[in-house]
Structures are given as structure tokens and as C-alpha cells.
Structure 1
Amino acid sequence: MSEIHRNEDNLGAIIVEVQDDLLQLKSSLEKIIVNDRGTTLDIQALDNAICRTEKSIRKHAEDYLKTVNKQLYVLPSIEDFPKQSAKIPQWKPLEAIPHVHPQKKNLLGASPGEKQKFNRNLMCNPANPSNRQIVPQKCGISLPDVVKKNINTTKHQRKIVVSGCHFPSIPEDDMRTVLQPSLLSLAVQHKAASLHPKEDTFKTGSNSRCDDQQKWETNSESPCVRKVDECTPLWATKTPLPSTTSMSMGQSEILKGTSSLIPKTPQVPPVEVPVNTTKFPFTIIKGQIDPMAIDFSHFKQNFSMCWSSVVDMLEVLKELLGNFAVPVGKVSGERLVELCRGWENGWRKTPSVNTLLSVLENQEEVFNLVSSPGQRYKGEGGIEAAAIRIQSCWRRYLARTAYLCHLRRKWAVDIITISWKMRAQIHRTRKALQARRNSQLENSRSRAQHLAANWKRIQSSKRTIIHIPSLGYSQSQRLNLRRFDILQNIQISRLFDIRDKNVEVIYICPQHLGDDILDYYNSLLKCDGATDGADTIQTLSSRRRFIILTPEAVDYFPTHNMCLSTLLKYSPRTLKRIRNLICGKQAYIVGGVSHMDDLAVADELDVPILAPDPAVFQLNSTKSEGRRIFDGAKVDTPPGQGDVCSLQQLHETLADLMTQNITVQRWLFKINSEHGGRGKAYCDACHLRSYNWALQQYHHYGPDLWNAKQIQEPVLLRYLDEIPEWLAHYAQPAKTSCYPSWACFLKTFLRQGGVVEAKPPSESVTYLTVDMLLEPGGEVTMLSCGDQLHGSCQLEAIGTTVPQTSVHPETLHSVCMRVGQTCLQRLIVGYVSVDLATFLDHNTVEQKVWAVDLNIAYSDQLAMTQMLLMVTGGTLNWHTGFLEVPMPVREKVCEHQIASKVVNCYAVIGSHLFHSNLFMLYHNTFLKTCKIHGIGFNMKKRQGTVFALFDMRERCSIGMITVSDDLQGALVTFARNLSVIYQEISSSKMQGETNFKELVKNIEDVLQMTVQNKRLLKDKPAA
């Protein structure tokens, strides 16, 4: 409103000036008429007047439009036009507008004498062509022709009032050149939309928004005319207008403030409204608009009030269509105006292509054309755009190439830098680790020297033994072993070292043991065979002299198959507890298979290790080095050769050995670093095609002449030709679970190296194992010996019979002493086991003893022997070769003494008994079941059966010891126990995986051999 007051005087003055200019123009036109008679024609005056008029109207009309666009205007009521006496209506404020009754018929169709009303659609919808015919436009507003006929043409001045704004009096003819019909129709439409349906008043506030939701209903009489329902007044209908889609806040406030001033009428009749389908289309051809075209002129004429914004949008649209050489673009005028209004209200940037194309009626066709490749270069400035694009692409290619080259160089620099840093870090880490290991090794050697110097004193005094049954094999071997923690826990019988009263045992267990296993071993430790069971004080002291610890790292690395020393190394809490337990005591470590982490644990606990250095162990623990030790000890060994590392060497060595030892039936192949029966294979010589011919040649020349090279050469050459095929077809690994075929075994054999040697040439071969302690002081002590029992694999021992009965004790002692002294010369200390083979030579009819294997570790047989000696209270006498067990006799020699006699006993030890169905029984249930069948140990007679429990989780492996007066009774008891257990846990439908059957079969063979030996002994004195 303030803008209207400011521009009020200026508008009046401008209109007055326009009137004066028009008067002058009129007078100039009169001069033109006079000049026709011969006077001078003043054309310049006419031109000046017209220019001043155009400039003034153009400048001030824009200011006026900016002001009045925010106001509401209401048309005055129109009286009956035929009456010449009616006064010309004036523009009045909203309060003075009377009620207007809309008519069904068009104003132009009325008869001169008929009373007519002004049609509301004339001003409400300027888009209607019929309205444009009635209301022609120039550069301002003019009233309809019907009204112009009744307007008095005198110089009569009238006063205009618009929304409370007063304008100076203007002649009626000049007023028509100022106002536009679109503004008047906008005001009429907003006023009509605010009237109450029944009371014919304007609505206020919140009800005005709900009226836009009313819908048109189609008239059944005429398809071209729509009627409003009787209950829906005209002002509640929705009239589609291109320029009045929304109402500004200022207009709504004016309507809200003036709605109460409108007079109310009781009823409004329904009105027929014609359907508006015109969209003011025009065409843009090749980016150009014909300003003289009818459709464009029509569009421009109807939207001249907002033409300034339409022109800008048209320029953008023309540029787009011209740049893309669009032949024809059909523009919808209404959409264009709506787009311009939205652009002015909220947009600050040029609309997108999709937005611009949305105003086209053929937008799909144009969009497909615009989006086609290369279309841009067909339009205006296409050649320049193509050149720019080519140059930009080339420059981008050059820049991209240079950037990628820079990235590659930068990447290479980063890789080199990171690699160098990592290499330097690894080098520093290795150097630090090497320094630490050297320090640990030096400390270990220093402690070993102290242990050797004080060994006699330590053995005779109280001491603590830290047993770590670690299997320090290589990583590949450990990962290929099943139930690795159970294999390490098989030596749990080391606990029975406490049978020495001066020994305390700290046993490191590789798994968590249940209460049933702990209670079982506690009950066994109570039964110390060397004392009476009533000595409870000594029993309690025995229970206090051992402790079982499990490293906490067992829970952190359950599937890594780490050796026990490594797990203990990464268990700081367990190490701390061990330090507290051995504080102030003499202690040393007894390990298993040596590993570098043994040094780390010993250095952390600051105790010595009763074992050789890891480097010494690795050097002397191979099969090839074992043969060298036996050769150095002057002990008989099987014919063979070590350090075979290539296929050609294997063939040549095997051919030479087979030629020299023609009577050997089976040849063995042993991998250097393997243990037990895993790394062994065999092949029988009888499968060679030329073997029978070679035997004939041997018998032809005889044993004495056969050693000549000239005689052996033909056989050697034929063997060389046949051995590759012979090995490929007939060589077999001893354990197919580890190496399924000869090809797999041969690959590992050639990679790690191995030994080729002969199996003893006899059908009756006995293998025995002797355990020795190589004391740091330089003495060799035999701890255990036993004849081996085999299962399905004839090259792997499952159990032993103690004591051994195959070799004379003196011969055995002599062999073991020589091997022990040779090991001491090679700086090997600790526990060592030697595998021997004895058989009867058919040529000389003499017993031969071959040393076949050397293991530098604490053996499973030794651990089970400690358990045997604990429960029986006996000792092994190596001079006589008997297991001497004291038997208490209840006869009083004196008041506090009980006489006892020593009995020679025999025992059968099974340390690797396996049955997959054992997991069905818990240990308590298993022991009760055995007790029901009479399987148990009699403490009075010191005979019976004792079990060793290893596993808490799977419960598939057990150990068993049977003790009897003679070897035959111990074997029978052992076989019977296996049969009973097998029947209890097996059925016809659930046999399971086991080694019970093969072991029972082997025991039967040993029993037959024992019977034969007894018969020979009986027959020999008689002869």
C-alpha cells in the first residue's frame, strides 16, 4: 500500500501528460489535413510526440505494474447497457461492489432491448478466445465495445478508487489505456473465489484453501458445457488459469481483510462455464520465432503483463533448440508462463534441459533428438563447439596421460619406500631375534655346564622336575598330525617320577583335564607299591609332590597345532606360577622333541634343560645321522645307505645294495625327519622280473665269489633297468593315512632326504626298544627296555613287553653303552631311545642284533614304564634282565619289620590303543565296566591291569598295562582285556575305527613263538 501512495501523484501526472500529448497529436493531425491544401506538413512534431508518449508509458507502466500486481482489484457493477441515461460506473473500493448475478448466455448474444449482466468469465479467464474478442487490447486497458457505446465522450473527469488507493481524475478514454484486463480479471477471480456459497460473501482465512478441491460435474444435456451443482456456487469452482495458479500472501491478506465488507445475498443460481482447452501454442522453427506469426502474437497479446520474464525464458529455449538444430519445437504457452513464474519465484540458475523441454508439446521427440550423439554440432556454432570439444578432449587426454604417468611413478616410489621400510624392519627384527636367541643359547649352555658340574649332588638331593612333553616337530609335520594335543599328553605318566622321594613334579599338560582323570591319577599315586597302603602320611606327601598346569595359550590357539613349549612361551601367568613354585629349589626341565622355544622357556624360568641344544638335536636326530652314530659306535646296522636326495641316486644305490645283498627280501625307505611309522615305505624284491635269475647267479657262484664286481655287474645293470618300474608299481608307504601313494612318499623323500636299508632276512624278527639316560656327568644309564608289539603297520610300535626277552642282557648292555658313549661324544645329553632288531642268521645260525633307529627324546615307552614301576614298586635289573617286584609277606621278623620276597614279573604295555567308539563311555563308566568284567589291579599281588587316561574331550585313546608272573600270562591278560572292551563298545552295526584286532593278532603270534621257545628250552637239556 505504501508503494501505491508513493506512485499516486506520478501516475496522475503521467496520465495527464499522455492526454496533452494526444491532444497535440490531434492538432498535428489537423495540420496534416490543412497541409493538404498547400501548407507545410509538420511530421517531426508528430514523431516527437509519439516517442515521448511511448517512453513515458513504458517506464511508468512497469512501476505501476510492480505495485498493482500485489493488490486486488474488483470490477464495478455494470448497469443495463441499453439505457443511455445510466451513469458510467466508476472504479470503487471493495465496500461499494454490489452483488453480480452471472448469466448463462454470452454478453454478445443479448438483444439490444434485453437487460443483460456482465459475464464473470469475461474478466476471470482472459485465456478464453471469446473473451479476447470482446476485450481487445492495445498497450493498456479498454472496456468492452458494448460499454464504450454508452460512455460519454465529454471531457468529464472521474475519480478511481482501487483497494483503498485514490488516483487523480482521468478522462474515461485515457483510463482505458492504463489498466490491463488480466489484472482486473485476477481481482475478480480472487474475489469470486472467496464468496460464501449460500450467503454470497467472501470466505475468510482457513476456508479459502479448501474450496479449491471442488470438482466439475459434467452436464448431461451438452458435452461442451459443464454445470456447477446447485449446492456449489460459482466462486467455489476451480477455473483453470495459466497465470493464477497460486495466490500470494499479500492478496490473501487483502481478501481476508475485506471479506466482511461484502454484502450477502441469500441464493446464487448455477452457472454454465465453458471448458477451457486452449494452451496458447506457438512454434519455434530451427531456434527462431516468427514475431509476426498469429499463434505467437496471440500468446504475446494474452501474456503481455509478464512478458519481461517470458522473453528471458524464450531466449534460453530458442538458444537450446538452435544449438541442437531442432527443426520444430511446439511450445505450450501456459507451461512456459508457469515455468517463468516459478523461475522468478525460486530459481536463481538457468533451468535444466529437462525443465526447458517440459514446456514443449513434442518434448519426447525433441528430447530424443537432443540426446542423440553429435546433435549439438549440427546446430548454431556447431563447428566452434566441435573444435572446442576436440581441443578439450585432447588436452584432457594429455593431462590424464601425464597424471597417470605421475601416479605410476608415485606408486612405484611408494612401493619402493614401503618395501625398503619393511625390509629394514624385518632385518632389524631378525637381528633382534637372532641376538635374543644367541643370548638364550649362551645362557642355556651356561646353565647346562652348571647342571653337568653339579649333577651328582642334584640327583642325591631334593629337586623339582618340570616335565614339558612337547613335540617340537616342523610346522608342516605338526599340521598334518591328527589329535596333536593327545599325542603330546600320552606321556602324562611322567607324573610317576615322584616314586623317588626326593622328586617333585610339575607337569605341563597340553589340554584341560577333567576331575575324573585327576581323581583317577590321585588314586593311583596313593597306591605306591614300595610302601604299605596304610602309610597315609607318606601317601599325602606323594600327593603334594606333583602339580598339573595347563598354559592359558591353549585356549587362544586351539587349532594351530603348536608344540607345548610354544604354548608355554606365550602363557605369562603359567610361567609366573612356575617361577613361584620353583623359587629357592633345585629344578631343571625335561622336554620332549627339542624346539627353539625350549630355550625361551628355560631362559624365562632361569632353569637348565636336560636335553641337547636344538642345533645338535636337529643334526643328530635324522635317520641318516643315526646310521653314522651306529657306525661310530661299532654296532651292526642293516645294509643300506643314508643321505639319498635324488631319484638317480636312489636307483643306483638301491641297485647296488640289492646286488650285494641278494638274499634280502624287503627293502625299507625312511624319510630323515619323520618319526614312528609315518615316514617309512617298503618294497619286496620278489616282484623284480630278474630276481629269480639273480638268485640263480648267486647260488651258481656261491657267497664267497659273489662279492667280486665282475660277477655282480650283469645283475647290477639289469636291476638298474628294472628298478624304476618296480618302485612305481610295487613300492608302498607303511601308513597310507599319511602318504596315500608311493608318488607322494617319493616327493617328500627326495625333498628331505632319507635312508635305504634292508629288512632283516628272516621270517622271525623281533624289534626291541631301549631307553637310556645320557647324564650330563658323562654316564649312561639304561632305564627301560621292551620287545615291540605292532598293529596293522608292521613298522610302528603300539606296545611293548617289559622286560625284553629277545637279546641276552649282557649283549644288550654292551650295545647300549657303546651307542650312549658315542652320543655323549656328539654332545647329546638327556633321554635317548634305541630301536634294535634281532633275528637268527640262517647262514651262520647265530643271533644278530642290528641297530635300526635312534630317537633323541623322552619316549612313550619310558613314560609307561614309570607308571609300571610306580604301581608295582619294582625295579628293572639290567644285569639279569628281570622286573623285580617285592611281595610283602605277613610274617613278623621282628616287632616293627615285615618280611618281603622279590618276584620276577612281566608286563605288557600298550601306549597307543585306539577305538573310535570309546567316546560313548565316560571314564568313570569305562572303569566301572572294566571292574565288572574283572579287569583291575590287585595291590596285594601286584598284578592285574592298570589304565592310562590321556584325553578328556574325545576319549578315543587309552593306555593299558597288564602285569603277571610270566610273559605268557601277561600277554593273555592283555589280549583278553582288549577283546572284552571291544565287545562292550562295538556291535555288528557299529564297529568303529580301531587297532585292537591287529594288536590281538600280533599277540597271538608272540604267544605261539613263546610256546615254541619253551619247547626248545625243554628239549635242549634232554639232548
Structure 2
Amino acid sequence: RQLKWDFQKHSDTGLGKTLDFKEMETAIDKSENEMKVTVYFFYCNKTQKHRSTSLAEEPENECKLTFTIKQGHINPSDKDLIVFKRSSGLCWSSVEQALRPLCQLLQAYAVPMAVVKAEQLVKLAQRWNGEWEGAPPVSSLISVLYNQGKVLDVLSRPGQRFKGEGGAKAAAVHIQSCWRRYTARSAYLRYCRCKWAVGTISLSWLMHTQLCRVKKALQARRFSHLENQRCRAQHLAANWNYIQGSKRTIIHIPSLGYSQSQRCNLRNFDVVQNIQIGRLCEIRDENVEVIYVCPMHLKEDMKQYYSSLLKSNRPQEESLAETLDTSLSKTQFIMLTPEAVDYFPVDMCLSSLLKYSPHTLQRIRRLVQGKHSYIVPGVAHVDDLAVADELGVPLMGPEPAVSQLYGTKSGARKIFRAAGVEMPPGAEDLYSLEQLHERLAELMVQHLDVTLWLFKMDSELGGSALCDVSHMKSYAWALNLYQRYGPDTWRSEGIQEPVVAQFLKEIPEWLSSHAHPANTSEHWAGFLQTFLRQGGVVEARPPSHSPSCVTVDLLLEPGGHISMLSCGDLLQSPCGLKVLGSSVPQTSLCSDTLQWIYTLVGQACLEKGIVGHVSGLALTSDLCLLQVWALDLHLSYSDHLAMTQMLLYSTQGTLSCQNSFEVPMSNTEQETEESAEKVQSRKRHAVLSSRLFHASLPMLYRSVFFQMCKAHGIGFNPQKKQGTLFALYDSSERRQIGMIVVSDSPQRALLTFAHNLSVIHQEISSSRTQGGTNFKVRVNVLMIPSACNQKHFSAAYSCLSSLNYNKYKFHI
């Protein structure tokens, strides 16, 4: 109807006069019923009208028409083509236009024969006029063929394009275009690589320069920290006598500045750092105020326990939300936890956590403002200097570099050698296998009377191994040679050289077969690898079967004075390589010998620039005290000293190097007035152990644990100054505790300690409970009174024999 309106609109131009509008209306009305619009244009010329009618009346003939194209060429004399051309009529021009690209395609690909469907070709021609502006796509051209499959197989053959007309030229063009593309792509990639290299080099250079600037800034800052520490240390040394006699504040930071790998290998590193919580007991000096930096948050039960132990109000563990105007005047001590413990890994040392805790540093700075104060660290770390510089207080301890140099087993031997004290025959600074074998062979030849040799790693946490030389095949032969030549002739190199060569041949096999690591569960191969990586020493074990080991804690004051803070006999494992506890006071060495040894060692340490707390070990080779060897040296505050501080605070006693531990007694004790006037103090003996472990301890609340101990008579009597004290370390794991037993005799102290372990184990363990404990090892060691000297040995043995000790043994 729209066409009709358009034709009527243009009737003035004469176009409408050439059309039969009645026939058009009929066609339009018919198409509305069929949903299809078909417009027939009829010319007035009857001939043209007749031709259009003949094409419309014979569509079936057109469908059957096909013709053949060979090698891309059409045969004009082909009958089928002539019939198709005649039937096409006026639309042949458009058909011919669509047929031309089809022929070009077939010629280009040298298709031998293609059969064209005329009907599809006509439809393609009609679509071409309406849809495509250029040549139709190849898929449309192929769709008009009767043998599409064969033609597509020909077209898909590799290189078929270059076999048709103009193939050589197309190949040349293709090769040239590929080469040009390759050269252009290669040049572009070279340009990109050069551009990337320039960017990488420039970025690396910028990062390198920035890193150098940061390193220089850090070095300058650390150097300034060190210089400031030295200035403050000089001021502390100059005024130490005045500071020691006046009010002062001690900042205790029990940090363990081990290497990263060693800290990661320690389980519950925060609990290990908090074992020295006994430092709080230094407030027994009325002039001392203690700020204890705790590596973890403590719960209320821990605070209440140490509040009652220290006879004061509950300790104040400050948080960020609390006010900052609280002073130390009321409680004389305060516990602070750095806020960085909530954000940083557990294996970071406490000084590093405190360094990145600005609020805690500000709190400490306000607490020590205007007071004499200094820091007592743990194992030295570079962050100790940063914390001391941030707080503006001196550090009473060795510098980190000095501590790393002399805080090892090899460094301890250097100090002992400088001090002129006797030490076991051995060699230090061993880092290669050849060096180890050569030095060991020389030592074995020079000291044939030594049958046991110790291999100790330089690190404080490193293990040790023990090997018996009697298992060596040529050892008996070497002893015969030694007896034949005598001691004087044996010292000549000519006689010892063949023995050394023979030992060198046997040492590798001897070590791999008979060397046993003591503190680790690994084999000799793994121990040797770690030993050579960290370095270590080789030392002789004493020939006696029951050596006694004494530990001494010294304070090397900045003013140069050397004072002994604690001493005790170590309780060792049967192999003699593990420390299980200690007994106070020591009874293995005479006081003069002990004082002479620690004075020489302290003077040597002061000459090396070491100040602060130092703990050392001395070993007696036999019960007659004919020989004393200096074994080890630790340049830090020890666990034994922390437990001793708790012992002295609880008993208000005094410990001297004269083999005495005395406590004052009050007049309320059931004694006569005359005896009370004469006896002002009583001697006491104590057994200390800071690392008691039991897997079932977390199953009990602290209150239940103490009620259980009270029910069994385990407790401390402040009037008699004897009994049992516990040291608690954490509020979460609760697997480790420390225990102190005080009694009037060493035998009773040992037996009470063993009895307490037995009772606790029987109460908290069951047949279903699975887990580890080290209680049994302690009990087995305590059955032999190793802490007593020879004078008390018979009395101790008779005491042990008279008691039914089997009920105190553990059955684990």
C-alpha cells in the first residue's frame, strides 16, 4: 500500500501512467493473506510482459540446470550454459558478474572441474546486488557448486594456491611478504629487547643506588647507635658507684638474639624467652625498681601468682588504652608487653619486637624519666642498641659484635686461654673436615690418656657428640708405643708422626661408627654437616667416671669490679652432656679455688670489653679436686641466675662463694629465747630446675594445680624458709614450669624434689594420656646425690637406702 501511495504521488511525472494500478492492488491484497509482499511490475509492452510471465511460470526448469567449469574456464558452446543463459533473461548480467569471481577462484587454485547449480548461482547474484559491496566470500561462492566436497579438498591442499594461474607470482609475493614481515618482526623484537634491557638496567641501577643509600643510612644509624651506647657506657662506668648505691631502675629485656635459623628451630620461642621471668625478684634490693618486658600477654592467673610471690599488688601490664601516669613507686616493678607481639611472627627476638613498638617505648621513656636507669639484655642483638638509643639509657652488656665473637664455644676457649686458667685439651675454630681430622689425630696422639672426646658446636643452641677412642683399632698399638718410649721421648715429632698418620686413616670410619650425638636425634652425618657449617670445638672429657660441674654467675660491673651473684652444682644426665638442674650452694670446689678462677676469667672478659652478666662452667676431674677445667662461658643473663633471684627473694637469704646459703630466721619459730638470740640465720640447701616439661600440665587450671599440690603438702613455708616454689612461664601452652625446693640439708632437698615430681606426675597422668615428659630423667638423676661433696656422700647414700624410693619413681 505504501508503494501504491508512492506511485500515486509520482503520477504527474508520467511514471504512474505506465503501471496498471488495478493489477498492483490485486497482488498486494493477495500478499497480505500469505504474509508476503510480491510486487510485479508490468510494462505496457506486451512482449516484455510475456517474457516475465514465462520465467515465473517455469521455476522447476531452472532448478534442474547445471553447467561445468573446467580449470576455471567456461566453455561458451556448452549446451547447459546456453540453456541457462536463455532462461535467465534480463538477470544474466548479474549472474555473469557473480560467475566471474567464481572462475577466478577456480583458476587460482587449479580446480580441474566444478559443477555449478544454476538456481544457486541466480540466488547468489541476487544476494550480491543487495548485501555485498565487493566480491562475495569464498564460502558463498563454493555453496553454488554441486561437488563442493571435492572442490574443498582441492582448495585445502597445502601450496595449491601456487599451482594455478599466476601461482609463481603469488608465491614470490608471498615469500617476499613473509621475509619482509620476518625482518620487520625481528627488528621490532630487537627493539623491544633493547628497550626492555634499557628499562631493566635503569631500574636495577635505581634499585641498586637506593639500596646502597639505605645500607649506608642503616650503617650510619647503627654506627651512631654504637657510638651513643659507648658514650652512655662511659658515663655509666664513671658514675657506677653512685648509681649502685642510689635509687635506680633496671629495664630487663630477656631477649634471645640468636640467628634466624636457630630461632625458627626453637619451639615456643616466646615461652623460652620468658623463662627468665625470675628477674622480677631483683626488687629484693629496696633501691631497685624493675621494668620487665614480657614477650607475651599474661593472663590474670599469672599476674595474681607473681603478685602474691612478690608480696605486692597485682602487676600492672599496661595496654594502649590505659593511662600513662602510673609510676613504679607503689609496686616497685611493672610488666610491659610490646604491642608488636600481636602483629609480628613469634620467632622474632624480644628486642626487635620492642623496637617496633612505639607506644611501649614511649611508656618506658616516661617511667625512667629523671631516674638512674640501665638495660639488662639477654643474648646480645643489634636491636638492643636501637632500643637503648631510643630510650636514651645505657646497655649493661657486651656489644653485639663482641658477643658474637666471644659468645661461642671457640670464643670461650680464647678467653680462658687469655685468662690463664686450665681447660680441657682441644682445638677450636674447626670449619673443614680435613682440619677436624688432622687436629683430632694430633690431640689423640698428644693425650693418649684421654679416652672420651667431645665435639661441640660453636652455637649456644648447638648439640654435642661423644666418641670413645678405645674403639679405634690402632689405639692399643699406640699405647704400647707410648709405654715403650716413655712420656719424655714420646713428645718428639719423629715418633708421633707414624701414629698420627695411622690415626688419620682410621678416624673417618671410627667417627661414623662410634660417634653419637647427645642432644639431638640425628645421626653422625647430619651432626657433622651442621658442625662444619657453624664451626665448633673438639675437647677432651675428664678421665674420672664421676666429674662434678659447677656453674657460676658473675656481674662484671662497669666500674671494673667483679662480683659473684650465684653458684651451684649442676645436675647432669647420665651421659654428662645434658643439664637437668642445679643445687645451691655448690659443694664441689673450695671457695678459694672458685674465687681465683672466676676472678681471672672476669678480668680477661673486662680486657675484651665485656661487661654485664656472665655465666661460666668449671669442671672437676675427680673427687679429690686435683684438677679443675674451665668448660664454657655465656655472655648473658642465665636461667640459673633468674631462678636464684627467685630463691633469694623468697627466702630473703644470702648466697656466698664460701659454700654457704644462709637465710634469716624470725623469732616466731619454736625455739628458746637464748637460741634465738644466738642463731640469727640458718643454712639452707636448694635444688633448682627451670625446664620441667609435662604434656598433661595444660589439662589443669592453675588454681586446680596449686590445690592439688597443697593437698599433697607441696608448698612453701615462709616462716621456716623452706618448701617448694614454682615458676610459671606462660598462660597458653602451660607445658613448662620451673621448680625450687628449699630444705635444711642437700639430701632432703634432693628427695623432696624427686617426691614432688613423682606426686605431680601420678596426679596429672593416666594410662590414656599420651605425651612426653622429662620428669623421669630428673628423678633418676636425683637418686644419686651428685650435688653433694664427698663429706656428705655417705650420709646421703644411707638416707637414700633407708627410704623406700621405689614409690617415687615414674613408670612411663
What's the TM-score, normalizing by structure 1? 0.70
Instruction: Please name the residue that 2:267 is paired with.
Output: 482
SS in 2 for 1:400: helix
Match of 2:392 among 590, 606, 617: 606
CA spacing shift, 1:1017–1:317, aligned 2, 3 Å: closer
SS in 2 for 1:482: coil
SS in 1 for 2:420: coil
Mapping 1:794-943, distance limit 5 Å: 794-840=576-622, 846-878=625-657, 880-890=658-668, 901-943=680-722
Instruction: Please name the residue that 1:748 is paired with.
Output: 530
Query: Is 2:748 the counterpart of 1:969?
Result: yes
Q: Is the 8 A contact 1:526 1:542 kept in 2?
A: no
SS in 2 for 1:744: helix
CA shift for structure 1 position 292? 4.9
Instruction: Please name the residue that 1:643 is paired with.
Output: 429
CA shift for structure 1 position 899? 10
CA shift for structure 1 position 828? 0.5
SS in 1 for 2:254: coil
Offset from partner CA, 1:181-226 (integer Å, 9 cap, x none): 369969xxxxxxxxxxxxxxxxxxxxxxxxxxxxxxxxxxxxxxxx
CA shift for structure 1 position 846? 4.5
What is the CA–CA distance in structure 2 between the aligned matches of 1:984 and 1:96, rounded to whole Å? 111
SS in 2 for 1:832: strand
Query: Is 2:97 the counterpart of 1:312?
Result: yes
Match of 1:777 among 559, 569, 573: 559
What is the CA–CA distance in structure 2 between the aligned matches of 1:1008 and 1:447, rounded to whole Å? 42
Q: Is the 8 A contact 2:588 2:789 kept in 1?
A: no
What is the CA–CA distance in structure 2 between the aligned matches of 1:797 and 1:970, rounded to whole Å? 18
SS in 1 for 2:69: strand
Offset from partner CA, 1:956-1015 (integer Å, 9 cap, x none): 221111111111111111111222222233344544222222221111122696687443
Query: Is 2:174 the counterpart of 1:389?
Result: yes
Instruction: Please name the residue that 2:805 is paired with.
Output: none
Query: Is 2:780 the counterpart of 1:1001?
Result: yes
Mapping 1:460-609, distance limit 5 Å: 460-526=245-311, 544-558=331-345, 561-609=347-395
CA shift for structure 1 position 811? 1.5
CA spacing shift, 1:356–1:570, aligned 2, 3 Å: farther
SS in 2 for 1:857: coil
Mapping 1:340-419, distance limit 5 Å: 340-348=125-133, 350-419=135-204
Opposite residue 649 of structure 1, the aligned amino acid is Q
Query: Is 2:540 the counterpart of 1:761?
Result: no
What is the CA–CA distance in structure 1 between the aligned matches of 2:338 and 2:720, rounded to whole Å? 39
Structural RMSD (CA): 3.7
Higher mean alpha-carbon deviation, 393-402 vs 865-874, is at 393-402
Offset from partner CA, 1:127-154 (integer Å, 9 cap, x none): xxxxxxxxxxxxxxxxxxxxxxxxxxxx
What is the CA–CA distance in structure 1 between the aligned matches of 2:359 and 2:224, rounded to whole Å? 23
Return the index of the structure with the highest Cα Rg.
Answer: 1
What is the CA–CA distance in structure 2 between the aligned matches of 1:280 and 1:794, rounded to whole Å? 112
CA shift for structure 1 position 775? 0.6
Offset from partner CA, 1:99-133 (integer Å, 9 cap, x none): 99xxxxxxxxxxxxxxxxxxx9xx999xxxxxxxx
SS in 2 for 1:520: helix
Instruction: Please name the residue that 2:318 is paired with.
Output: none
Opposite residue 230 of structure 2, the aligned amino acid is R
What is the CA–CA distance in structure 2 between the aligned matches of 1:784 and 1:435, rounded to whole Å? 39
Q: Is the 8 A contact 2:8 2:16 kept in 1?
A: no
Instruction: Please name the residue that 2:239 is paired with.
Output: 454
Mapping 1:716-735, distance limit 5 Å: 716-735=500-519
What is the CA–CA distance in structure 1 between the aligned matches of 2:190 and 2:28, rounded to whole Å? 82
Query: Is 2:419 the counterpart of 1:627?
Result: no
CA spacing shift, 1:986–1:96, aligned 2, 3 Å: closer
CA shift for structure 1 position 469? 0.9
What is the CA–CA distance in structure 2 between the aligned matches of 1:279 and 1:523, rounded to whole Å? 115
SS in 1 for 2:622: strand
Q: Is the 8 A contact 1:889 1:899 kept in 2?
A: no
Aligned pairs, number? 775
Q: Is the 8 A contact 2:589 2:625 kept in 1?
A: no
CA spacing shift, 1:368–1:947, aligned 2, 3 Å: farther
Q: Is the 8 A contact 1:527 1:939 kept in 2?
A: no
Opposite residue 635 of structure 1, the aligned amino acid is V
CA shift for structure 1 position 419? 2.8
SS in 2 for 1:863: helix
Higher mean alpha-carbon deviation, 491-500 vs 359-368, is at 359-368
What is the CA–CA distance in structure 1 between the aligned matches of 2:736 and 2:586, rounded to whole Å? 25
Match of 2:111 among 316, 323, 326: 326
CA shift for structure 1 position 352? 3.3
SS in 2 for 1:176: helix
CA shift for structure 1 position 573? 2.4
CA spacing shift, 1:776–1:1017, aligned 2, 3 Å: same
Offset from partner CA, 1:571-604 (integer Å, 9 cap, x none): 2222222223223322211111101111111111
CA shift for structure 1 position 814? 1.6
Instruction: Please name the residue that 2:323 is paired with.
Output: none
CA shift for structure 1 position 345? 4.1
Q: Is the 8 A contact 1:791 1:995 kept in 2?
A: no
SS in 1 for 2:577: coil
Instruction: Please name the residue that 1:250 is paired with.
Output: none
CA shift for structure 1 position 852? 0.6
What is the CA–CA distance in structure 1 between the aligned matches of 2:332 and 2:53, rounded to whole Å? 114
CA spacing shift, 1:183–1:778, aligned 2, 3 Å: farther
Instruction: Please name the residue that 1:175 is paired with.
Output: 46
CA shift for structure 1 position 548? 2.0
CA spacing shift, 1:872–1:701, aligned 2, 3 Å: same
Flag structure 2 segments of 5+ consecutive residues without an equivalent: 314-326, 799-812
Offset from partner CA, 1:50-69 (integer Å, 9 cap, x none): xxxxxxxxxxxxxxxxxx9x
Offset from partner CA, 1:453-501 (integer Å, 9 cap, x none): 1212222222222111111112222222222222111111112122222
CA spacing shift, 1:440–1:852, aligned 2, 3 Å: same
SS in 1 for 2:169: helix
Opposite residue 454 of structure 2, the aligned amino acid is L
CA shift for structure 1 position 805? 1.1
Instruction: Please name the residue that 1:94 is paired with.
Output: 25
Opposite residue 620 of structure 1, the aligned amino acid is Y
CA spacing shift, 1:295–1:949, aligned 2, 3 Å: farther
Give the % identical residues. 53
Instruction: Please name the residue that 1:131 is paired with.
Output: none
CA spacing shift, 1:550–1:900, aligned 2, 3 Å: farther
Offset from partner CA, 1:508-546 (integer Å, 9 cap, x none): 222222222222222211289xxxxxxxxxxx9887222
Flag structure 1 segments of 5+ consecutive residues without an equivalent: 16-67, 75-90, 101-119, 126-161, 187-240, 243-274, 529-539
What is the CA–CA distance in structure 2 between the aligned matches of 1:348 and 1:457, rounded to whole Å? 107
CA spacing shift, 1:279–1:1000, aligned 2, 3 Å: farther
Instruction: Please name the residue that 2:466 is paired with.
Output: 682
Q: Is the 8 A contact 1:888 1:899 kept in 2?
A: no
Higher mean alpha-carbon deviation, 754-763 vs 792-801, is at 792-801
Opposite residue 473 of structure 1, the aligned amino acid is Y
Q: Is the 8 A contact 1:792 1:998 kept in 2?
A: no
Higher mean alpha-carbon deviation, 512-521 vs 383-392, is at 512-521
What is the CA–CA distance in structure 2 between the aligned matches of 1:343 and 1:943, rounded to whole Å? 114
Instruction: Please name the residue that 1:189 is paired with.
Output: none
